[in-house]
């Protein structure tokens, strides 16, 4: 059976992120790996390919089209599904991905035949066999089907390791990047997160305990990656020092030299300094650290396990080590102008190489949603608004327009006044600076528009 897997084009809300984080569609690569032995698979990455969907449909003549989704992709995904049905009503359409897991009902639409709330090595191939034989599929765990009135089945986080089929993205791999590291692959070594921060979607998607993939499988995947740079997207890769050292043993034994980037928490870095130092010596170039705020009270409210004194200790350690920090912060809706000023001073004190700031976003499935439900500016079904750049909670200390101005002023500060620009030029060259500058102009234009409409 011929199957076309589609990643939708980049949404306007995520353009600035895409300027320096344009990762491979690893979820679709995993689905391709599940099916490659029995079916003819083609991947169409609309973020990287300028050709039209119609041309791809005519070229590949698929019987099935599978579309992945992010949090704000609902309208784009439904448009693709409708276009597929208009081209050929007999094509079966499937939707999966983050948004299908979180809010599957967003895709209960006449143009969508099946919604995968989660994918496994059982439910994906099983459904395809039924489709290939043109026989009605019975209800399958994790699959919500139009023929069964999207019957909901019990769900739980599925932490199954499947080696991605990276050959399927061969035409696009030279475009995939992570900040200035280009080309770059991404990979996971575990799922789940025991920290369960109240603002974070990851533990809602993957579970509130870490489930480790077998290290021999992780090593096999590393050996298969051709790119010189790799992003490890575990929610907190450095939290287990023994596992980091096990990876380092392998890198030393095989004499593997790559540029590594990973997510890490302040707590994990401070608890595993020796392992972090060793990994840095074997190619760890940067860590993405969620500092989030400049106030201990907010850290406590977010269920973060660290306080400001830990942030400062972490910053000093990483500076002494020479390990780059890409820091993230969240703007609280109750901040005053002075609070934004204090945030800028805090950023200057921590002095990360790259900083990103986004408004606090209480997604409907998270604990914070109930806290701010009566102050939300957009409803659950206004999916396009639930991006990390949009203000979702009505500010309490200033008007919405004034709040956007403080956000814009702070973002311009970290992108222009702080040391990120010299860092980008020194580390990644002028091309990356141009991409970052383009993203900053997109952000400026968007915030001005939001301020005007506030």
User: Among 220-234, 258-272, 412-426, which stretch is predicted with the lowest mean pLDDT?
Assistant: 412-426
pLDDT level of residue 425 (50, 70, 90 thresholds): confident
106 Cβ contact partners less than 8 Å away, ≥ 6 residues apart: 74, 99, 100, 381, 383
Q: What is the pLDDT of residues 370-402, one digit of tens each?
A: 999 999 999 989 988 887 788 999 999 999 999
What stretch of H or E contains 429?
none
> What pLDDT was estimated at residue 15?
45
Query: What is the per-residue pLDDT for 13?
Result: 47
Q: What is the pLDDT of residues 331-378, one digit of tens each?
A: 999 999 999 999 999 999 999 999 989 999 998 888 889 999 999 999
Query: By C-alpha distance, which of 220, 222, 221, 202 is closest to 211?
Result: 202
**Rounded Cα gap, residues 351 and 229, in angstroms:** 24
Tokens (6 digits) for 42: 């083609």
DSSP 8-class letter at 51: S
Instruction: Name the token pair of 346.
Output: 């805090």
Taking only the tens place, the pLDDT of each residue in 12-71 is 544 444 445 689 999 999 999 999 999 999 999 999 999 999 999 999 999 999 999 987
Cβ neighbors of 163 (< 8 A, separation 6 or more) are 33, 217, 220, 221, 224
Give me the pLDDT at residue 148, please.
86
Question: Which pLDDT belongs to residue 440?
Answer: 66
CA atoms within 13 A on the CB side of 256: 24
Show the DSSP H helices in 373-429 as ranges: 400-412, 420-428
- Classify residue 151 as left (phi > 0), alpha (psi -120 to 50) or beta: beta
Q: Give just the sign of the alpha carbon dihedral 318, 319, 325, 327.
A: positive
254 token code pair: 């095989």
Interatomic CA distance for residues 268 and 306, integer angstroms: 10
Average pLDDT of 255-272?
Answer: 97
Q: What is the torsion angle, in degrees rounded to the nearest 10, for the CA atoms of residue 201, residue 203, residue 206 and residue 210?
A: 150
* Predicted pLDDT at 207: 84
The residues, ordered by sequence, that sit 6+ positions from 433 with a Cβ below 8 Å of its Cβ are 421, 424, 425
113 — pLDDT class (breaks 50, 70, 90): very high
CA 141 to chain centre: 25
Q: How far apart are CA 207 and CA 216, in angstroms?
A: 23
Mean pLDDT score, 152-180? 86
The total of other beta-carbon atoms located within 10 Å of residue 404's CB is 24
Question: pTM value?
Answer: 0.92
Closest by alpha carbon to 36, among 112, 123, 124, 101?
124
Measured CA to CA in angstroms, residue 275 lies from 18, 217, 269, 298, 453 at distances of: 31, 21, 9, 29, 49
Which of 382, 396, 387 lies closest to 356, judged by CA? 387
Say what the pLDDT of residue 446 is.
76
229-257 burial by CB neighbour count: b if 16+ within 10 A, else e? bbbbbbbbbbbbbebbeebbebbeeeebe
Rounded CA-CA distance 301/371 in Å is 11
């Amino acid at each position: 059976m011929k199957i076309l897997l589609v990643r939708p084009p980049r949404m306007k809300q995520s353009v600035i992120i895409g300027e320096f984080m344009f990762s491979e569609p690893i979820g679709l690569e995993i689905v391709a790996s599940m099916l490659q032995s029995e079916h003819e698979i083609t991947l169409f990455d609309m973020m990287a390919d300028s050709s039209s969907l119609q041309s791809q449909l005519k070229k590949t003549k698929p019987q099935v089209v599978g579309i992945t989704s992010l949090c704000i992709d609902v309208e784009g995904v439904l448009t693709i599904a409708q276009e597929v049905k208009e081209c050929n009503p007999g094509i079966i359409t499937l939707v999966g991905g983050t948004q299908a897991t979180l809010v599957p009902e967003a895709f209960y639409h006449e143009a969508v035949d099946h919604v995968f709330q989660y994918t496994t090595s059982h439910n994906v191939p099983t459904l395809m066999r039924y489709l290939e034989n043109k026989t009605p599929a019975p209800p399958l765990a994790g699959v919500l089907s139009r023929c069964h009135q999207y019957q909901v089945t019990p769900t739980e986080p599925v932490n199954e390791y499947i080696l991605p089929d990276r050959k399927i993205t061969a035409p696009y791999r030279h475009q995939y990047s992570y900040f200035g590291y280009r080309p770059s692959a991404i990979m996971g070594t575990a799922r789940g997160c025991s920290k369960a921060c109240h603002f974070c979607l990851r533990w809602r998607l993957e579970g509130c305990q870490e489930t480790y993939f077998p290290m021999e499988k992780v090593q096999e995947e590393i050996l298969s990656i051709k790119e010189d740079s790799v992003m490890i997207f575990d929610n907190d890769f450095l939290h287990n020092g023994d596992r980091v050292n096990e990876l380092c043993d392998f890198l030393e034994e095989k004499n593997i030299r790559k540029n590594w980037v990973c997510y890490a928490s302040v707590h994990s870095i401070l608890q595993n300094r020796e392992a972090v130092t060793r990994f840095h010596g074997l190619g760890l170039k940067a860590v993405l650290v969620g500092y989030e705020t400049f106030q201990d009270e907010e850290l406590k409210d977010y269920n973060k396990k660290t306080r400001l004194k830990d942030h400062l200790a972490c910053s000093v350690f990483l500076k002494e080590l020479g390990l780059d920090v890409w820091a993230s912060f969240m703007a609280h809706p109750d901040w005053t102008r002075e609070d934004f000023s204090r945030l800028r001073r805090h950023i200057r004190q921590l002095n990360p190489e790259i900083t990103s700031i986004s408004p606090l976003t209480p997604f409907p499935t998270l604990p914070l949603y109930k806290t701010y439900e009566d102050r939300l500016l957009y409803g659950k079904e206004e999916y396009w608004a639930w991006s990390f750049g949009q203000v979702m909670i009505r500010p309490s200390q200033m008007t919405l327009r004034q709040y956007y101005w403080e956000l814009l002023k702070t973002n311009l500060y970290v992108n222009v006044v702080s040391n990120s620009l010299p860092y980008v030029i020194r580390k990644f060259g002028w091309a990356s600076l141009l991409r970052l500058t383009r993203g900053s102009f997109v952000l400026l234009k968007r915030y001005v528009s939001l301020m005007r409409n506030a």
